[in-house]
Amino acid sequence: MKVSEILASPGKPFASLEIVPPLKGITKDELLDSIRPFARFKPPFINVTCHRDEYEYRSRPDGSFTRHIVSRRVSETAVCAAIQQEFDVEVVPHLICAGNTAEDVESRIKDFKFLGIENIMALRGDSLLGEKRFCPQPGGYRYASELIEAIRSSEVRYFCVGVGAYPEKHFEAPNMETDIANLKRKVDAGADFIITQMFFDNSVFYDFCDRCRAAGINVPILPGLKPLSTWRQVEMLPESFSIDIPQDLVKELSLHRDDREACYRVGLEWCSAQCSDLLAHGVRAVHFYTMGRPDNVAEILEKYF
Ligand code: FAD
């Protein structure tokens, strides 16, 4: 079933999830066991992120280096196939421009169709470590909008396509207006729904939705939430995702820097309050970034879904 059909069908609000494929070496059973805590909440769909290959430089006895391509994680296609087999849930593999030629993209699309997958999350991906700006693969796509056009020209309306959006602006965009105009390009290219980057202040999300609607973006916008659980995340997430963490939350967590249990509770309560407020504002679906940590998300699902 397509995500757009799920979102359009009447019913209670629901939670969807995003999981990151495990590092290679883990077994299928271990992967499925990490998803099992969510099964009883019956999320209608689970997104599976994809990760571009990385370069690794290995030294040789003569002092020179050789460059190797390394894919550290199990592919999104393999993870989707495993989830589909085990659980009654739609899967939404992510597909990125980064590191892929047009032929690579076409091949992935065909694999998704072979598996009966009806949804794709179309994203650009990011530069490699050390690259100053995003460089598409020769013969690949520069923007997510071009990737959507490729999906549409390959399969017209077979796939329901989701895209990413940034309530606090994408870090490369010169301003919010331009970023929203570029988001509109993705919708005009055929995107059916939008999932936002994580945010910790709901007023930022509501304001973003108003600006999108004013710009003529009329597809569903799903808020993305992530419960913080460690002080380390306060130090890392703003840089990794170009997001802001409200001062009240930072202050609260800073009181418990070395107390993991207390940090976990503070992050959980903040995210629970966000979730409750979104539902009170009539949001139909809340998307949770699990990032390999099922316990705190499962606690929130238990409370609200
Ligand atoms: P685009 O929509 O292509 O936008 C990138 C930048 O270019 C923006 O600044 C935009 O304003 C600008 N732009 C867009 N179109 C044009 C145009 N025509 N002309 C000029 N400028 C333009 N990354 C992964 O590697 N794997 C994942 O699985 C993954 N999942 C994600 C899921 C979600 C929900 C989100 C929000 C992000 C995810 N990302 C993932 C991260 C994403 O790939 C990066 O944030 C990336 O930098 C931008 O991707 P995008 O699809 O939003 O790009």
Q: Report the C-alpha gap between 271 and 100 in whole angstroms.
A: 35
The ranges assigned to domains in the chain are 3-304
Pocket test for ligand 1, best of 46, 132, 170 (most atoms within 8 A of CB): 170
> What's the confidence (pLDDT) of residue 33?
95
Parts of the chain with a pLDDT under 50: none
Pocket of ligand 1 contains residue 148 by CB under 6 Å: no
Helix (H, G, I), strand (E, B) or coil at 197: strand
pLDDT in tens, 218-271: 999 999 999 999 999 999 999 999 999 999 999 999 999 999 999 999 999 999
Question: What's the 31 CA to ligand 1 centre distance in angstroms?
Answer: 27
In this structure, which CATH number among 3.30.428.10, 3.20.20.220, 3.30.70.2740, 3.40.50.12780 belongs to the domain 3-304? Answer: 3.20.20.220
Determine the pLDDT at residue 254: 96
- Ligand 1 atom with least separation from CA of 143: 3
Alpha carbons 305 and 298: distance in angstroms, whole number: 10
Q: Which residues contact 11 (CB under 8 A, 6 or more apart)?
A: none
Give the distance (Å) from ligand 1 centre to CA of residue 180: 12
Indicate if ligand 1 lies below 6 Å from the C-beta of 35: no
- Does residue 20 line the site of ligand 1, with CB under 6 A? no
Give the pLDDT score at 156. 82
Nearest CA among 187, 106, 113, 111 for reference residue 140: 106
Q: What is the pLDDT of residue 269?
A: 98
Cβ neighbours around 6 below 10 Å, total: 20
Does the CB atom of residue 50 touch ligand 1 within 6 A?
yes
**CA distance readout (Å), 266 to 25, 154, 216, 289:** 33, 46, 37, 17
Is the minimum distance from the CB of 100 to ligand 1 under 6 angstroms? no
Locate the ligand 1 atom nearest the alpha carbon of residue 144 and give its number.
3
Whole-number Cα distances in Å, 254 to 125, 235, 257, 258: 32, 11, 5, 9
What global pTM score does this model have?
A: 0.97
Ligand 1 atom 40, closest CA: 125
* Residue among 201, 169, 196, 167 at smallest CA distance from 271: 201
pLDDT of residue 173: 98
Q: Judge contact between 6 and 90, C-beta under 8 A.
A: yes
Distance CA 65, CA 52 (A): 22
Looking at the annotation, which residues are catalytic?
18
